[in-house]
Amino acid sequence: MPLHGGKLAAKALKEAGVEVIFTLSGGHIMPLYDGCIDEGIRVVDVRHEQAAVHAADAWARCRPGTIGVAALTAGPGVTDGITGIANAWRANSPILVFGGQGPFENMRRGSLQEMDHIGVVRPITKYADAVYQTHRIPEYIELAIRHAVSGIPGPAYLEIPMDVFMAQVEDDEVQIPRIRTDPPRLSPDREEVRRAIELLGQAQKPMLMAGTSVKWSRASEQMNRFIREVHIPSYTNGMGRGTIPPDSPEFGNRSRREALKQTDCIILAGTLLDFRMRFGQTIPATAKIIQLEMDATLIGQNRQSDVGLVGNLANSFELLLEEMKHRGVSVDFSGWRDELRVVEDAAAGIEAARRAGMGVLGIGSPEALPGVTPRVVSLTDVDLDHLLQGSFD
């Protein structure tokens, strides 16, 4: 039975577990809608292409292990979606964006809304390509999704000219490949894990910063088991927010500045040393850095790491616990945690008093909070200071 390219694309998306695509209806990509209807994939039509890509991004963030899909018509349809693609790129969100294009037969002859989309999106995608043979559409979709979900995830762009989309091939001439949206979990080098344990065993005041790669590794459970085991003070950054239970004794959000001032060893669990960490300058020069990341190219960015554990962060934390048990290593940082808890509780008291309209302190005098120096700072001061430095701490 003959199938057109849109039906082949939809079959591949169905194989990938896609439930919905987001789009703004356009003539260049009409065959995809036809295929999605046949395969039971919902087509959500929005009012602007940027919203379609943002929706695909949101879908991927809310459903880790899946991929968000958007379909954009040619020319201004694709360019309208650029902000959404860039946002997914910065958020490491695994999405697949289909782009329409004029007929391949008339390439560079001035077809309706014809332009070099791939040249535009390449700097903000992990993969950007076009398919020019109808029977290879499923193959290219698998390749695009594989790029989107592997390592540090991100957006992939696949362009399909309208004549390639509309052309028909016999179904027995096409094979729909197996498509994984959950890539294999890679583990770090065990010798590096041993080195990390050695550094941790020498530390007196370590801390952990959980960042975006914890989310994309789906490593929250394993990380929290590690945190509970060693009682290490822990903080969150980026999309790492929410990966540590707010009622965890080790979790802090008001004592981070104090912890950074005193720390002698920091575990960067998927946290980049970007503007939010003053490009590594917030960490004391003498502190050791243990960095856990999904991609080796991020290890040591902006500041040298003493140990780099490259792989899925869930595997990294599992190996740390496994190796500690195997080597009989036991560390307990509950004393340091309790010191920071005093700072946390004092700051929480000040905030509660301010909310109650009792002033900055609301408790009479600074002497009521031993060891805590009251500091009145306006938002303008904070924003201007850190914007000038390009960082927040």
Which amino acid, 186?
L
Are both 2-173 and 190-341 of the same fold? yes
Give every CB contact of residue 252 below 8 A, 6+ residues apart in sequence. 233, 234, 235, 259, 340, 341, 344
Identify which has the larger pLDDT, 20 or 2.
20
Identify which has the larger pLDDT, 105 or 79.
79
Q: Pick from 267, 262, 217: which is nearest to 243 by CA?
A: 217
List 309's β-bridge partners, or say none. 292
d(CA 393, CA 277): 6
| Rounded-to-5 percentages of helix, strand, coil across the chain | 50, 15, 35
Q: Which CATH class is domain 190-341?
A: alpha beta
d(CA 312, CA 151): 8
d(CA 210, CA 62): 18
What is the per-residue pLDDT across 122-138, written as a single tens digit (0 to 9) for each? 999 999 999 999 999 99
For the chain, the structural domain boundaries read: 2-173, 190-341
What is the residue-wise DSSP string for 273-338? -SGGGGGGTTS-TT-EEEEEESSGGGTTSSS--SEEEES-HHHHHHHHHHHHHHTT-----HHHHH
Outline where 110-184 has alpha helix (H).
117-121, 137-149, 162-166
Instruction: Confirm if 78 and 53 have CB atoms less than 8 A apart.
Output: no
- Average pLDDT rounded to a whole number, residues 191-212: 95
Q: Pick from 66, 83, 80: which is nearest to 18 by CA?
A: 66
pLDDT above 90 covers a percentage of the chain that reads: 71
What is the per-residue pLDDT across 230-247, written as a single tens digit (0 to 9) for each? 999 999 998 899 999 999
**In this model, does residue 380 exceed pLDDT 70?**
no
pLDDT value of position 370:
52
d(CA 72, CA 75): 9
Question: Is 3.40.50.1820 the CATH number for 2-173?
Answer: no
d(CA 121, CA 383): 32
pLDDT value of position 27:
86
Q: Pick from 132, 121, 96, 98: which is nearest to 16 by CA?
A: 96
| Residue 230: Cβ-neighbour burial (10 angstroms; 0-12, 13-18, 19+) | buried
pLDDT value of position 227:
97
pLDDT value of position 371:
53
Residue owning tokens 């290490």: 232
**Segment holding 100, helix H or strand E:** strand 95-101
What is the per-residue pLDDT across 49-83, written as a single tens digit (0 to 9) for each? 999 999 999 999 999 899 999 999 999 999 999 99
Task: Give me 306's structure tokens.
Answer: 């003493």
Chain mean pLDDT for the chain: 88
Give every CB contact of residue 250 below 8 A, 6+ residues apart in sequence. 227, 228, 231, 232, 233, 234, 244, 337
Instruction: Confirm if 18 and 26 have CB atoms less than 8 A apart.
Output: no
